[in-house]
Structure 1
């Protein structure tokens, strides 16, 4: 290759390099512009976002301030409502105090003004007259509140009330003297102004004392209590005296009157108040007598027995006879109402709480009917009969035979005992009496299950 060709090749290469350099430069400039534009866009977006955030923060702050102002306004309104409600609530709870206070103000103010005028007309300096008038009325009210405090604390308040009324009448006298001279032809005006010094004291005294005291029910209860204590001392003098001795012997306040009387009753009677040995004895005798009234003979038909027992269901008294005396138990066993007509006559062995005197005729008739064919000596005993010791030995067997007779619905008769035990009729009568007495004791003690077995 010649020099020229090399030179042209070099020039071509240089121009190509220049074009490449220019292209790279232009690309670099374009890239720089793009980067600058992107940065500018980002800056604009950042500024816009900051502006939006600032606006949002401002809006939120304004809303928070608005809510705070609203809450403060509502709190103030609630406080005003609470204060108003407190006042109105107090007025609703204390209408008497409110109206008394209103009338007292309307009474005191004219009284003070009237006294100032009275003292001023008498030549006293107006300011001094006002102080003296306030002193007079203020003394009355100071004494009134001092008496109220003493009364609330349980101390005597009579001297304060007396001093209050003396001061009030003194103020009333001043007002009456002034207006009777100022208006001699209109005495009623003097009376009205004199009353203005008394009305307020009178209303307050009526409020603090007239509204207190016992109610009608409390007075009635107190009267009944005093009557009860008087009747107690009248009917139970010895026990009341013993109770007084207990109260004086024990430390003061350790027991009250009711506890002392109950203790004295237990000491004297040995039972709870209202009960005694005589009461228990009378109740027991009444139960035995009632049992004797139900004593049945063998000639009574079973349906009549059951009808009599069922009649207690229609007892017009508030409580049925079957409820009996709480301390001693029922007088008529409930199971008797639930048995059949045949089982009802089983109670005829000795009746409910039978007595030998109440059923002597029935037993004798039963004896004649049951044992008429056995003769006078069913077992061949000797004519002299058995001794008491021998009959006592036969008592357990006789009791068992009696229970069998009652279970079968038969009477405990001498003839039946003579036949089943194997003894003479006379001995059977004596043994029968012992059996009846033994069953009475067990029945009164409440051992119904053993007798029924």
Structure 2
């Protein structure tokens, strides 16, 4: 490679490196710009969320203040707080005059006005406590009499103090007006408190019944709008005062739902009928279920105990159809169960399930006939009259039945089924026939004769 070519290659490499450096710087600036934009967007979103949260917080505080105002400005709250304000102002207006009167006599009498005024208010609180605890009426009237005594004595003191202001430069009329005002203010506080307590007790006694009645009417109107609408029309159509609301609602329920009993609908009626029918079917399907703890042990199946090819046989099950008529009657059998008859009317089915007592399955089983087990030997008259076959006869029948069998087919089970004998008799026959086949070369006698 010549000098010029190397210089051109170096220049191209430097230019490529410069381009890559510029590209990398541009990518770094773009990345920093994206990060800056993302940071600014997050800050804007955060500021927007903060402003939204502040706005929601202000709205929530505004709603809470409005709710508190609504709670405070209710008639009951105004009456309660107004009564407390009147009571407080009454005490503040009547107490100084009593203090000045008794302290002017002697400083040692300072606790006397506090005791008189305090006893009046303590007795008023006692009346409220007696109403809350539903104490006898004589307790409340005794406390009221004590309130009247203490409040009257304080009013008399304040009236006398007002008349004594004549010596302080007031005219007789002004002094008498001041005395009457002080006496009225002294009596105003206990009277207002007692009236408030009386109104609260009366409202609580009335509200307990009316609130439940209003709540019931509100739920009825919300749950049964169509029925209530028709009931209102029936009331408006009838002469005034001749149709009460409950009777109108019952008539409207019969018109809308088709049932004279309020609350019952066709769907509920159908559901009750299905439930009653399912209960009767469940009782009928399990009449002979044994009680808990006294379950009978079911006999094991013969096929699971032993087969004819085993060394030890098991007695074959007794077939009642093969026995004579007297013996068949002694075989225990399961009681038959009558199926539940179909009830056309759902009302009759509902009434039947209401009248039928719900008892366990063993009570239902006791109502049906119980099966009797054989407790002794079968009498001679009930025994089978079938003639017994001798071993020689059984062997002849087995030879005839197995004449064309191979030695592998000679099994006790096949022999028992072929000549209809017991398993304990089929096994000796199997062994005898196999021995004869072994002596005769393993071929059946019929084949040898042929």
TM-score (normalised: structure 1):
0.36
Q: Decide which structure has the larger Cα Rg and report it.
A: 1
Report which of the two has the higher share of helix. 1
